[in-house]
């Protein structure tokens, strides 16, 4: 049984459709990469799964429970679904440690001392132990994004959504963030990534989905999608990205 | 700075020449600024004292004997202004923040409160403060309500709170609105409720951002404490008025003005200092 199920998702902004009936299933421990041009609906799809957007039609199920139900507890949903943003969105008035500890303490009611210990352990695992007392604006982009990932992991989500997490980074910092994502895959984290890093998607994805104009045009194994795409639009898109 | 032996850096001829030039330029700038200031002030002084009415003005506004005579009373009155300010300001901050927060709550049950908050800011930002002081100071006692104080000082403070609370509410609201929605999205994505996001993520950043405009409003309030004099509260302005009506000399007003300036200038410098500190933190290599 799939862990996450998206059925016929529609979403438009001011009458302009961004998602047109998207269906997607994600199994436990599966890594799904969403590829597609700017404005194809990748980010919107992720934001709908995390209820940062209200869907116009369709439904999202996690573990068989409908997240998009009218009476669903939004906060409870978000506790199970972690999200990492393109621009990191760390809280600038808090230290790294405070950023990570906030949700475990305030949302999950965890004991502060225990939450700190766990956060420090998690930071240490991702090479950030010495940054715990720093403020985000003292860190490099790569470090900030690693902290953002740790912050999302600290609440032990069932699914992690990563929205173009390397797009705002200098090229030499991309690697350190991708390494973490790779490590999470090895630990069996269920993830959906929107990404422009084609070689990374090919390397890490169990399933690659190509979105075009709000439609999920093609899905398949990375082998199949990257070497033998069925849809002409996919072929076109891949040719354009690989020319660079 | 590290010495050249440590870093292996010896200043080049070019750099030494550059620095010498910079020093020469700094000296020239200093001389120019000094001379032009002296010229401007000198012209102003000459222009003022050469005017036909100067002897009379000097006598009625700059009379030392009148100054020394009135100053103790004006100073005593000024403590009332300080007291009014110190009582009003914390209440204003609390009222302003509360009104700003109520305006941001979208829960349907809060609709009447929200409407009331909008009405409050619209009305009390529109009424001139002096008019409000009159209306509250003379209108409220006329109601003859049981338990409502009729002390003009209390009513004056109340009027100032009403007026400034509306302004400060708008300052807080603009601060809250200035925090990028992505901060709220990040907080919500971690499972924080709307209230928790506001309290732990949005408000702390918003408050830091509005400190300079708030201090500006404080400075304004310090001056407007003189408005309660229209209700007969004997503060600095009223004391000056009493003295000058006895002697027909305006120097006591100048004494009052001096006291207000002495209070506001440190506040202005403090605001500048805060702004400069915030600026240097944003600059490269800052904090």
* pLDDT, tens digit (0-9, with 9 covering 90-100), for B4-54: 567 788 889 999 999 999 999 999 999 999 999 999 999 999 998 888 888
What DSSP line would sit under B31-55, residue for residue?
A: HHHHHHHHHHHHHHHHHHHHSTTHH
Q: Are A218 and A210 in contact (CB under 8 A)?
A: yes
Lowest mean pLDDT among A142-146, A206-210, B281-285: B281-285
A134, closest residue in chain B (CA to CA): B287
* pLDDT, tens digit (0-9, with 9 covering 90-100), for A35-89: 998 889 999 999 999 889 989 999 999 988 898 888 888 888 888 899 999 999 9
Q: Bridge-partner residues for A20, per DSSP?
A: A10
Q: Dig out the tokens for B232 from the structure.
A: 């007969």
What DSSP line would sit under A10-25, residue for residue?
A: EEEETTEEEEEEEEEE
* pLDDT, tens digit (0-9, with 9 covering 90-100), for A128-164: 999 999 999 989 999 999 999 999 999 999 999 999 9
Nearest to B254 by CA among B85, B81, B71, B82: B71
Lowest mean pLDDT among B80-94, B120-134, B264-278: B264-278
Nearest to A231 by CA among A217, A244, A220: A217
**pLDDT given at position A243:** 65
Nearest C-alpha of chain B: how many angstroms from A159?
12
Interface check B58 vs A, CB under 8 A: no
Band (pLDDT 50/70/90 cuts) for residue B216 is confident
B206, closest residue in chain A (CA to CA): A93
Higher model confidence: residue B108 or residue A135? A135
Band (pLDDT 50/70/90 cuts) for residue A197 is confident
Nearest C-alpha of chain A: how many angstroms from B202?
9
Q: Are A2 and A8 in contact (CB under 8 A)?
A: no
Interface check B184 vs A, CB under 8 A: no
Interface check B183 vs A, CB under 8 A: yes
Q: Are A198 and A226 in contact (CB under 8 A)?
A: yes
Q: Are B78 and B234 in contact (CB under 8 A)?
A: no
Higher model confidence: residue A205 or residue A173? A205
In the predicted structure, residue B287 carries a pLDDT above the cut 50: no
What DSSP line would sit under B188-238, residue for residue?
A: HHTT--HHHHIIIIIHHHHHHHHHHHHHHHHHHHHHHGGGGGGGT--SHHH
**pLDDT given at position B8:** 83
Say what the ipTM of the complex is: 0.88
Residue B192 with chain A: CB contacts under 8 Å: 75, 102-103, 106-107
Interface check B279 vs A, CB under 8 A: no
Q: Are B221 and B160 in contact (CB under 8 A)?
A: yes
B209, closest residue in chain A (CA to CA): A93
In the predicted structure, residue B144 carries a pLDDT above the cut 50: yes
Residue positions counted in chain A: 244
Which of helix, strand or coil describes residue A5? strand
Helices (H), B127-202: 129-142, 152-178, 181-189, 194-197
CB-based contact A85 B185, cutoff 8 Å: yes
């Amino acid at each position: 049984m799939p862990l996450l199920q998206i059925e016929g998702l529609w979403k438009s902004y001011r009458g302009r459709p961004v998602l047109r009936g998207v269906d997607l299933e994600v199994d436990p421990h599966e890594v799904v990469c969403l590829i597609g041009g700017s404005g194809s609906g990748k980010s919107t799809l992720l934001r709908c799964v995390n209820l940062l957007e209200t869907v116009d039609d369709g439904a999202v199920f996690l573990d068989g429970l409908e997240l998009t139900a009218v009476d669903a507890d939004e906060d409870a949903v978000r506790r199970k679904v972690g999200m990492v943003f393109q621009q990191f969105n760390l809280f600038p008035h808090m230290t790294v440690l405070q950023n990570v500890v906030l949700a475990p303490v305030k949302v999950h009611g965890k004991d502060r001392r225990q939450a700190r210990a766990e956060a420090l352990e998690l930071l240490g695992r991702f090479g950030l132990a010495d940054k715990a007392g720093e403020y985000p604006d003292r860190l490099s982009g790569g470090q900030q994004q690693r902290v953002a990932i740790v912050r999302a992991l600290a609440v032990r989500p069932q699914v992690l959504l990563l929205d173009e997490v390397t797009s705002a980074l200098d090229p030499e910092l991309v690697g350190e963030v991708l390494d973490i994502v790779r490590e999470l895959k090895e630990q069996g984290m269920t993830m959906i990534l929107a990404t422009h890093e084609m070689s990374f998607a090919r390397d890490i994805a169990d399933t690659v989905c190509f979105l075009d104009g709000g439609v999920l045009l093609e899905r398949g194994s990375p082998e199949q999608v990257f070497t033998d795409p069925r849809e002409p639009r996919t072929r076109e898109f891949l040719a354009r990205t690989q020319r660079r | 700075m590290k010495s050249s032996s440590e870093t292996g850096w010896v200043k080049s001829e070019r750099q030494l020449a550059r620095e010498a030039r910079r020093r020469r330029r700094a000296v020239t700038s200093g001389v120019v600024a000094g001379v032009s200031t002296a010229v401007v002030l000198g012209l102003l002084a000459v222009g003022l004292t050469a005017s036909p009415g100067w002897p009379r003005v000097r006598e009625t506004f700059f009379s030392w004997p009148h100054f020394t005579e009135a100053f103790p009373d004006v100073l005593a009155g000024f403590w009332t202004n300080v007291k009014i300010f110190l009582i009003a300001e914390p209440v204003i901050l609390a009222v302003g923040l509360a009104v700003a927060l109520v305006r941001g709550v979208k829960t349907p049950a809060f609709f009447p409160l929200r409407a009331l908050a909008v009405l409050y800011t619209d009305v009390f930002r529109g009424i001139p403060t002096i008019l409000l002081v009159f209306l509250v100071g003379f209108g409220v006692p006329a109601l003859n309500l049981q338990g409502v104080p009729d002390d003009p000082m209390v009513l004056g403070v109340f009027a100032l709170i009403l007026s400034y609370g509306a302004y400060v509410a708008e300052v807080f609201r603009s601060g809250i609105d200035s925090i990028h929605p992505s901060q709220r999205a990040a907080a919500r994505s971690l499972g924080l409720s709307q209230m928790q996001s506001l309290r732990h993520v949005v408000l702390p950043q918003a408050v830091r951002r509005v400190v300079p405009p708030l201090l500006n409003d404080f400075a304004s309030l310090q001056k407007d404490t003189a408005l309660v004099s229209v209700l007969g509260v004997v503060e600095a302005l009223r004391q000056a008025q009493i003295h000058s009506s006895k002697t027909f000399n305006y120097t006591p007003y100048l004494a009052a003005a001096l006291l207000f300036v002495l209070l506001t200038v440190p506040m202005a410098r403090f605001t500048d200092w805060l702004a400069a500190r915030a600026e240097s933190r944003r600059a490269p290599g800052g904090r």
